[in-house]
Structure 1
Amino acid sequence: MKKVTRGIAVVLAAIMTVTGVKTVPVKADTQAKSVDIMFTSDLHSHVNSFNTILAGETEAKNVGGFARIETLIKEQKEENPETLLLDGGDFSMGTLIQTVYEDEAAELRLLGELGVDATTFGNHEYDYRSSGLHNMLGTAVESGDALPEIVLCNVDWDAMEEEGLTEDQQLIRDAFDDYEVKDYTMVEKDGVKIAIVGVFGTDALACAPTCALLFEDPVEAVKRTVAEIKKNEDADMIICVSHSGVNLADEDKSEDENLAKEVPDLDLIISGHTHTKLEEPIVHGDTYVVAPGEYGEFVGSLSMTQKDNGRWTLEKYELIPVDESVESDTAMQEKVDTFMQAVDEKYLSAFGYTKDEVLATNDVTFCTLKDLEAKHTELNLGDLMSDAYVYAVENSADFDGETVDVAVVPSGTVRDTYTTGDITVEDVFNSFSLGTGKDGVPGYPLISVYFTGKELKTMAEIDASVSDLMPTARLYISGLNFTYNPNRMLLNRVTDVYLTDKNGERVEIEDDKLYRVVADLYSGQMMGAVTDMSYGLLSVVPKYADGTPVEDFEDVILYEDGKELKAWDAIARYMQSFEDTDGDGIANVSEYYAADHDRKVVEDDKSLGAKLSHPNRFVAMAAGVIAVLILLVVFIIVIVVKVVKKVRKKKRN
């Protein structure tokens, strides 16, 4: 039989030779390698499903949740058990589960339960300060549960050790060693050897004011690590889980796109930090950049096949909605519920709440989370939160009688909106869930500082001029109203600014008077970044009541009965304070928030008169610079003319 088969093959080969058909020898083991990958990023402790309004939509949806993600992973693994699972960092800090971060390490342990192969650190993992991060990693290791690898290549341990490790740096070093955090890790899936490197971005570091570590340049660190991988490993593919982000508005500031261009040996970048949802990958050369959005609202899924040159091509890419169409995995939900049971006992009991307690019933349509950054105008979600700060401070048991003039909420501190229906304690916490205070208790506390009237006007100009460049710094304010024209010169866009009293009446601002301003701790700590964005031109100096500059914002934290007054608790108290209009014993969110109140008015006037009216000192400075440049040009022209005349005169002579 073998001889007959061989004979047929010879005959066929002869026929194809005569007819001009080329024969290509094929070996059984030369089938192109392929790999399937599922990925998440910026989960921010959203282990449970939650109600929200997605960007571009008007109706509330119930989305996310590890139980649904587990179902999607199981469905994928039925098709390919060797599917690679990756996460791009910021896996914590965003919901009530973060309050047991140190004691339970729920986020990492649940990522391990999902089967995630590798993740990296985002800026919000450092919000718990060095001791919190140290304790969380220790708890995760001690649990004995399966855990994802953590990869991070650009911590500059050499520079820190040369200076001598601080106590905080040593804590993190010990925790990293215990967890075995690496620059990169090797994973094999279906015969494909994959190197996974992690990196922490420049903007991410700028957004981590309590991070004690020093970092190398992300691009240079990845270049070095990729070189090590190529030298020491037989890797078929190199993937970077990057907490750096993409900027769709400005490619020059798009860190992960720059990484793709500068490190062309990377086959794939899982991009986190900017919460970007890329419907289609960004491609530079042979490097693909993908991003799944935030909070587990979508899970990324892709397939890649290796080309003849050893690089990889994308065969399939999709972002799978994690919504009510996906059935929750019962076993995973039970594990999530077990962790959530600790929240009431270990955290909320100290505030007198339970997670499911209804604070108010809501019939108002609030703006979406994305609206806060995308729309530069007054928005009701910011109005409510800033009003809540004023209410909580002035109704605190420790209120000293000095009223709050202004309360400020930057868009970057808000983490979710409110849907219609019941608003629970969990909903409110999740809407403003960032950070810890000086006390180490989850939740940023409120702070109280003073600014001059002139600085309040500058604050309005910061919002009008800088927040388009830094949308997370867009301000929503109680007590300060202003009008701005986006068509006017940068740093001279505000055309009217004033205070409003408790009756909503206009009060003119006195430049030299000190006014009391309330914000959250993180906003104070990030004030320097906003000043840098304007290159120091728009600068405000927070002060004590006596006018002395504040050096450490932890010194101006507000307390009640010896405990920090948390920003999220301020919102919860305000919710409970609303009138019960339907008589069911539960407060109803005020209809006041169904309309705007001229807190931020956009005057879209493109006329020349509107652009040039009310010039401020920055216009004068710009005019001075222009005048100097004109004089310089005139001077150069005069000199050139004189030189030309001299040359011509010499030629005639």
Structure 2
Amino acid sequence: MILRKSILSVVLTIAMLMLLAQAVTVKAADDTKQIDVLFTHDTHSHLDSFSTIVNGEQKEVGGFAKIKTLINEKKKEDPDTLILDGGDFSMGTLIQTVYDTEAAELRMLGYLGYDVTTFGNHEFDYRSQGLANMLKAAKSSGETLPEIVVCNVDWDSMEKAGLNDGQKQIQSAFETYGVKDYVMVQKGDVKIAVVGVFGKDALECAPTCELSFKDPVEAVKKTVEEIKKNEEADMIACVSHGGTWEDESKSEDELLAKAVPDLDLIISGHTHSELQKAIRHGNTYIVSCGEYGRNLGSLSMTQNSDGRWNLSAYELIPVSEDVKADKATQERIDALMDTVDTNYLADFGYTRKEVLAQNDVEFNSLEEMGTEHKELNLGDIMADAYVYAVENSEYYDGDPVDVAVVPSGTVRDTYTKGDITVEDVYNSFSLGIGKDGVAGYPLINAYLTGKELKLVAEVDASISDFMTTARLYCSGLNFTYNPHRMILNKVTDCYLTRADGERTEIEDDKLYHVVTDLYTGQMLGSVMKMSYGLLSLEPKDKDGNPIENLEDHAVMEGDKELKAWDAIARYMQSFDDADEDGIANVSEYYATTHDRKVVDDSKNILDLVKKPNKFTAIIVCIGLIIIIIIVLVVSLIRKIVRKSRKKKNIHNTNR
């Protein structure tokens, strides 16, 4: 009997302990902190859905009204979802034309429920006054707005040097809006510190930005130290406009993750990367969802016992035709878009839904401009449009355009089959502002020598694989290049053509009339840096004098600048009305390519060494010098080793 009672007592005790342990485990599980995050970056004013080419298929994608639907669905599951944006929320569609007065992009981010965003390089496209006006317009709207964070603006150095007018305007606007280095956001029981940073390449891509910036990594490192010292943050996230690159040694946000291991999460904008799997360095996760709101990034993180976070779920949700648009959001977008017709397009004689041409041609996708190093019909039609618009302007002075140049980085979207509207054309080249203060970069007139034109071809052939935004599409300039040849000596043939296709040889010392857009001219210096100073192009005026300010050489029509997008619109309207329905039809000429950029893939040794240029000689000389130095160093080391051995042998003999 006593034995039975003892056994029963032990069993009951074990059962009680098991129940207690289970209760403790459940309580511990309940105490585990978790956070859901939705994110975007590089939405570039794409408030509306749009038609484009995705993986070879024409699709209707994106749109803030659909993103709002997805956000609402997520917030039904978790009302404490954190919503972040990685910058470049502006410059990409017609709505940007009222950027500085309506601040539509920032206001819509607030309406969708975004908690925090940062600045991208294109937020500076309307110059200091434009950015300042936008921030103040957003604030004066009285609407809910996202916090803006950026920690590496170098106000100290600018103030020490004396703030210029543009810097003063932005400083005032930052104070009005409340731009900070970082903000604290409470989501349920999780306190998140969100820091923002502006990348080095982003600054290179912002030629009109008047601000100075500190080193991104060092600035984030210092800010994180402040957060850890002054805040009780469970998690530290970074909204970065630095980006990720294939070359990890140049991948800014990966370098940031390695240098600042206390970061838990980096929303990585700028490079338009679409990461199907998060990049992880240590305990830091880097995520990107691609551009234009085509995807909504979604992730969940769970806190470990050591206070760090694990990525427990991650996906890119397509903002596709299958997603139903939120009606109230679409009504707000439509109301904002209505301001574009009256406040901008009326001055050009257009409406945004006006059909310019009907299209049956399959144009290349935007992605192909970054991956295919060859002639592409989208670049061809834009370059041809520049020539047409200049030479058919009522203000044309009779000086023929020899070459028009369109870099891939200025092309923002493609044309799909069906009607091509004014909005479609503007969205395909939706950048910047001119000296006149009117939205849209103007075309500029410049002159290059024949020798420099050949260098233009070499820039494309040798540099653009390292800087795909510098891939060039030309009208009037044809060339052949071999990708297997030595860098800076890849072009093997280069000549000019006109509309009739007749070949004209380039004279090295002759000046040639070149037309491109203002942004391309302003970015020329950055492209030249990629050649480490070996390539040099100096835009000149008609008399051969170096151009000091490209803005002064805009193509003018009376007192108005000829905008690049308007040049394309005019060219679209110029096509024949093949089906006689009163609307132009895109020419079948663009259904194929025309030897403007020929890729010679030969690996024959004779083809690889023929026609060496001065750069070949320079590189060979540098290589020989390096070899000689290596030989001398090896020889010196051998002598030192021999002497050492000889001394050692003498020492051993004397013993």
Report what 1:102 is aligned to: 100
Partner Cα separation in structure 2 for residue 338 and residue 159 of structure 1: 42
Report what 2:5 is aligned to: none
User: Please, which of 419, 423, 426 is the counterpart of residue 420 of structure 2?
Assistant: 423
Could you tell me which runs of 5 or more consecutive residues in structure 1 were left unpaired when the two chains were aligned.
1-8
1:280 partnered with 2:277: yes
How well do the aligned residues superpose, as a CA RMSD in angstroms?
2.2
The 5-angstrom pairing of residues 267-416 of structure 1 reads: 267-416=264-413
Report what 1:34 is aligned to: 34
The 5-angstrom pairing of residues 104-503 of structure 1 reads: 104-247=102-245, 249-503=246-500
TM norm structure 1? 0.95
Report what 2:581 is aligned to: 584
Question: % of aligned pairs identical?
Answer: 63
Partner Cα separation in structure 1 for residue 528 and residue 174 of structure 2: 34
Partner Cα separation in structure 2 for residue 176 and residue 43 of structure 1: 22
- AA at the equivalent of 1:210: T
Deviation at 1:90, TM superposition (A): 0.4
Report what 1:5 is aligned to: none
Distance 1:494 1:340, change over 3 A: same
The 5-angstrom pairing of residues 70-81 of structure 1 reads: 70-81=68-79
Report what 2:3 is aligned to: none
Deviations 1:153-208 (A, max 9, x none): 11011111111111000000000000000111111111111111111000001000
Conserved? CA contact 1:49–1:62, under 8 Å: yes
Report what 1:44 is aligned to: 44
Distance 1:352 1:632, change over 3 A: same
Deviations 1:441-471 (A, max 9, x none): 1100000100000000011001000000100
Partner Cα separation in structure 2 for residue 194 and residue 640 of structure 1: 56
Partner Cα separation in structure 2 for residue 160 and residue 547 of structure 1: 36
- AA at the equivalent of 1:35: I
Conserved? CA contact 1:296–1:322, under 8 Å: yes
Report what 1:621 is aligned to: 618
Partner Cα separation in structure 2 for residue 637 and residue 191 of structure 1: 63
Deviation at 1:50, TM superposition (A): 0.4
- AA at the equivalent of 1:235: A
- AA at the equivalent of 1:416: D
Partner Cα separation in structure 2 for residue 642 and residue 111 of structure 1: 70
Partner Cα separation in structure 2 for residue 634 and residue 514 of structure 1: 46
Deviation at 1:647, TM superposition (A): 9.3
Deviation at 1:408, TM superposition (A): 0.2
Partner Cα separation in structure 1 for residue 23 and residue 622 of structure 2: 72
Deviation at 1:622, TM superposition (A): 2.4
Deviation at 1:14, TM superposition (A): 2.2
- AA at the equivalent of 1:520: D
Partner SS, residue 60 of structure 1: strand
Conserved? CA contact 1:298–1:322, under 8 Å: yes
Deviation at 1:27, TM superposition (A): 7.4
User: Please, which of 604, 607, 623 is the counterpart of residue 604 of structure 2?
Assistant: 607
Deviates more, 1:610-619 or 1:581-590: 610-619
Deviations 1:562-600 (A, max 9, x none): 100000000000000000000000000000000110000
Deviation at 1:626, TM superposition (A): 3.6
Partner Cα separation in structure 2 for residue 352 and residue 525 of structure 1: 29
- AA at the equivalent of 2:296: V
Conserved? CA contact 1:406–1:518, under 8 Å: yes
Distance 1:26 1:507, change over 3 A: same
Partner Cα separation in structure 2 for residue 527 and residue 560 of structure 1: 25
Distance 1:641 1:26, change over 3 A: closer
- AA at the equivalent of 1:282: I
Conserved? CA contact 1:397–1:561, under 8 Å: no
Conserved? CA contact 1:151–1:182, under 8 Å: yes
Deviation at 1:418, TM superposition (A): 0.2
1:537 partnered with 2:534: yes
TM norm structure 2? 0.95
Deviation at 1:338, TM superposition (A): 0.5
- AA at the equivalent of 2:387: V
Conserved? CA contact 1:437–1:445, under 8 Å: yes
Deviations 1:224-275 (A, max 9, x none): 111111111111111000011001x201111011111111111100010000
Deviation at 1:146, TM superposition (A): 0.5
Partner Cα separation in structure 2 for residue 347 and residue 253 of structure 1: 40
Partner Cα separation in structure 1 for residue 82 and residue 343 of structure 2: 35
Partner Cα separation in structure 2 for residue 202 and residue 635 of structure 1: 39
Conserved? CA contact 1:410–1:523, under 8 Å: yes
Partner Cα separation in structure 2 for residue 640 and residue 84 of structure 1: 61
Deviations 1:72-103 (A, max 9, x none): 01111111111111111000000000001111
Deviation at 1:623, TM superposition (A): 2.6
- AA at the equivalent of 1:207: C
Deviation at 1:287, TM superposition (A): 0.6
Distance 1:637 1:83, change over 3 A: closer
Partner Cα separation in structure 1 for residue 346 and residue 270 of structure 2: 32
Deviation at 1:639, TM superposition (A): 7.1
Partner Cα separation in structure 1 for residue 181 and residue 634 of structure 2: 59
Conserved? CA contact 1:13–1:23, under 8 Å: no
Partner SS, residue 234 of structure 1: coil
Deviation at 1:501, TM superposition (A): 2.1
Partner Cα separation in structure 2 for residue 209 and residue 635 of structure 1: 45
User: Please, which of 560, 563, 578 is the counterpart of residue 560 of structure 2?
Assistant: 563
Give the paired residue count: 642
Deviations 1:585-619 (A, max 9, x none): 00000000001100000000112111111111111
Distance 1:140 1:639, change over 3 A: closer
Distance 1:172 1:581, change over 3 A: same
Distance 1:422 1:636, change over 3 A: closer
Deviations 1:505-546 (A, max 9, x none): 100000000000000000000000011010010111110111
